[in-house]
Amino acid sequence: MSLAWTLDVDQDRIAWLRFDLADEKVNKFTSAVMAELDTTLDRIAADTAIQAVVVHSGKPGSFIVGADVAELAAIGDAADARNKAQSGQSVFNKLANLRVPTVAVIHGACMGGGTELALACRYRLATDDPKTSIGLPEVKLGILPGWGGTQRLPGVVGLAQALTLIMSGSAQPSRKAYRLGLVDALVAHAFLAEQTRRFLARVGSVKGRQTVLGRRWRVRPVLVRFLEKTPPGRAIIYRQAAKQAQHRSKGHYPAPIEALEVIRQSFKGPLASGLAAEAEAFARLALSSVSRNLVWVFQASQRLKKTPPSPSDHRPQPVRNAAVIGAGVMGGGIAWALSHAGLRVWLADIAWPAAAKGMATAAGMFQALVKRKKITAGQMDVAMCRITPTTDLGKLGGQLDLVIEAVVEDMAVKKQVLRQLESHVGPDTVICTNTSSLSIGEMASALERPSRFVGLHFFNPVNRMPLVEVIPGEETSPQTVACAVAVARQLGKTPVVVRDSAGFLVNRILLPYINESIRMFEEGVAPQRIDQLVEAFGMPMGPLALADEVGWDVGLKVAQVLEDAFGQRMRVPDLLRTAVTSGTLLGKKNGSGFYVYRRGKRKPNPQAAELTGKSEQRGDDAGVLDQQIVDRAILTMVNEAARCLEEAIVPNAEVLDMAMLLGTGFAPFRGGLLRWSDQLGAAHIVKRLHGLALICGDRFQPAPMLERLAASNGRFYQDPAG
């Protein structure tokens, strides 16, 4: 019985090899699937009547998503890893060595091992569907293409482009793949079989073959062709690729550099030796802590996307019509997200100039997609037509399925708007608030029907941040929670349901990290030193640069909410309160924060130093150890995360870690905040926290949960593999 592969030979002796993995929504390569493909290729090779082979997918809208990540996670040792790479290489070598023309017909996602299979075919066709994309994302899992991808891709698209695709791990839409020569023709899905036959007839002639193969060379830029021909030219390409990889990875991710070295050593050399080098590099990387952590992040993200919103998993009502109240930066961004997902949106504010600004924000986000060729200008126009600005809530009527309030972060103002809003929408409309820290329960007290009210916290900027916190109040119904979760997923976001508490989850953990960094600045540590050390740890942006990016006034509002809720542990730094009150320092928005921003560049701001009263000593911070700076920033997050977990703000460590990864960009190569803590050990963390408490005060006293884990040699993750 076939597990995945079906071979049909038609009257023209074309073998149609269909991949349709049983009981799965998508095709992926497992050991059993590869073994079946190996046997099937032997059958094809033995059948001398076959004139061509076409590999295609039986899954609607998907080709092959790659190898089964669970098998990658289960690799036990170097020999196991090497064997997996060599086995895959052997199977794809059989495909590449078939005596007849082979064509991969790609419709939908073609990733990793799927792309390597396509590269082993002599030709590649792709549908012009927007969902069709092709890539080798292995470096995002801390490995490299191990089934021949590093060896075959340079021969298809050239050295420079192959390095870019492999080292970035980026997927290419089918039209760009065609422009690069990665695919040989674009076909319409509706006429896939007919156009595939036509292509096979074309390459059946010598002239047709030469035209198709010659095009792969001709699409490369002339300068690139020139550089690739000579060793000095290739050396320039390698140096540039290494420089870009270092810039992107900051030295934390070894896979891109390993891939570069494999290609550098094997380019233009024998395939067998190149494959051997590829398998060895794969084995080294697959066992690294970076790969283990990145694989865990991928698996955890998949689990989170499938998590039901509540144990009862109520079926949410469909959302087609929505409104956003408040057309500021966040409101405009949320309107963009709703429209981009195909919803009809009303964008409301009290005055037309404000509504116009919100429309401009949404338009700017669509224009960015046009610039990156993700959508066309025509598609942008259609999407913008789905957004209707208004200054009259009364015009919304009862046609809305969902409305999101996104006005200023002020409890009194939000209550007033919510009261007014409730009177203008239908009885079944779900009402959401986009708040970063305010109590959902208190806001709900302004409504007559609090059961349909829920927090829906988007992160800024909306078009780039994947996380949405869903915050039910005590009276929020399960149906309302299910609707909020479904809408977030409809927008392409990852929702995390969190308990109603000051700052919710991400901001509650993040604000102490920023506050502590501000205190270090107040004590005389230079801002660039703090930011550079924390970025070297793996955070995408230093805490003081982040404070500037968010805005000091916005940060103060959230910080004050947290201080009111948690007392001295979350005390607002004096500098933050003084600067915002005086209006002198607001961060990047007025060009003056911890840094001065001029003409796209930044430098430390002496005005911020003067406000601390330590301007004369600024920069003389050699007495503070680098490790102490990192510990004060990072371990304060660990400490607060332990409190959040103990208070059941989220159900477990995995959800907390994923929220921090998606909401703050916490270093993915370290796995997650609490996963990294487990690797460090609770006893070690508690010891360091006690040391910081002696120097800095009681705010560093370890959380009770951390103390218990240290005493029992326990872990945040009960499963050691977590």
Q: Which residues are catalytic?
A: 457
Question: Phi and psi dihedrals of 688, rounded to 5?
Answer: -70, -35
3-state secondary structure of 514: helix
What is the DSSP code (8-state) at residue 191? G
* Cα 388 from Cα 514, distance rounded (Å): 38
Max Cα–Cα distance, the chain, nearest Å: 87
* Cα 12 from Cα 16, distance rounded (Å): 11
Residue 410, C-beta contacts closer than 8 angstroms, at least 6 positions apart: none
Write a three-state SS string for 392-435. Answer: CHHHCCCCCCEEEECCCCCHHHHHHHHHHHHCCCCCCCEEEECC
CA-closest candidate to residue 275, choices 288, 265, 284: 265
* Cα 293 from Cα 68, distance rounded (Å): 16
* Cα 452 from Cα 326, distance rounded (Å): 20
Strands 62-64 and 14-19: unpaired
Orientation angle between helical segments 289-306 and 653-664, nearest 10 degrees:
100
* Cα 326 from Cα 405, distance rounded (Å): 7
Q: How many residues does the chain have?
A: 722
Q: Residue 149 is encoded by which pair of tokens?
A: 């991808």
Q: Residue 519 is encoded by which pair of tokens?
A: 């205190």
- How far does Cα 445 stand from its chain's mean position? 36
Cross-strand partners of 496: 469
